[in-house]
Amino acid sequence: MHRSTVSTAEAAFLAGLSERKINQAVDDRILPGNLYEKHARNRRFTPMAAAFAKFYFDTEDIMVANTRKTILNTLLDRIQKLHEEDRNGILMLRATGRKKTWQIHPNEFIEIDFNSFITDTKSRFKQLEEMDKVIERNPSIMQGEAVFKGTRVPVHLVLEYLKAGESLKALQEDYPFLTENKIELAKLYNALHPKRGRPKSVKLAHPEWRIQEKTIIQK
């Protein structure tokens, strides 16, 4: 699955910023309107929006706000002039375009190479895509709980075992598909999709589940 947009939490992760900063970038009209969409209470962002936000906040100590906004608008104008396929590829971080596309000279004293911001964001975007390959949510599987793809093993349950002191090696005896990389991606998923309200034990949250020797049995 190729992502075309990301959630607010995911955009914050891509940019290395807080969700508050990402929302500020929208509310203060820092991000151009065609880099995000509003759906009721939710906002969806193009992956490139995260790179734009990262640039804006990371350079606030060396450039005034108007200069930073001008740079972002100049970059977006260059992107918009590309052919649709190239434009969409860049907005979704599938392509980077020509190097000169990202070189900006706002004045005779400053030269900006936006490539570094794209590189950092793209590296994190790859982690999201790896996460998508490992974890899924399907209403027909474990009542829509996030599970490791191809299994019926809930992500949060494995993380609860680890938090309680169970070793990965011990878990691998029952769940041999688990790897250190999958655990790290599970932690990332859990951070980006926190459960609302006070955390419940598995027994209270899902009384229909029984756990016997680390095997989940749904009545």
**Alpha-carbon gap, residue 110 to 215, rounded angstroms:** 60
- Whether 74 and 105 have beta carbons less than 8 Å apart is answered as no
Instruction: Determine how β-strand 146-148 pairs with β-strand 36-39.
Output: unpaired
Residue 198's pLDDT is what? 47
Domain boundary assignment for the chain? 8-129, 138-218
**Alpha-carbon gap, residue 143 to 93, rounded angstroms:** 33
Please report which helix (H) or strand (E) contains residue 127, including its range. Answer: helix 115-134
Torsion over CA: 65, 69, 75, 79 (sign): positive
**Alpha-carbon gap, residue 113 to 65, rounded angstroms:** 18
Token digits for 121?
A: 């964001």
Residue 204's pLDDT is what? 39
Residue 197's pLDDT is what? 52
Residue 86's pLDDT is what? 87
What three-state secondary structure class fits 132?
helix
What does the pLDDT profile of the chain (219 residues) look like in tens digits? 578 899 999 999 999 999 999 999 999 999 988 899 987 778 999 999 999 999 999 999 989 999 999 999 999 999 998 888 888 888 888 877 677 778 888 777 778 889 989 999 999 999 999 999 999 999 999 989 999 999 999 999 999 999 999 999 999 998 999 999 999 999 999 999 987 654 444 443 444 444 444 444 444
CA-wise closest residue to 48 among 102, 92, 3: 92
Residue 208's pLDDT is what? 46
Amino acid at 86: D
Residue 213's pLDDT is what? 43
At the top level of CATH, the class of 138-218 is mainly alpha
Helix pair 8-15, 47-58: axis angle to 10 deg: 50
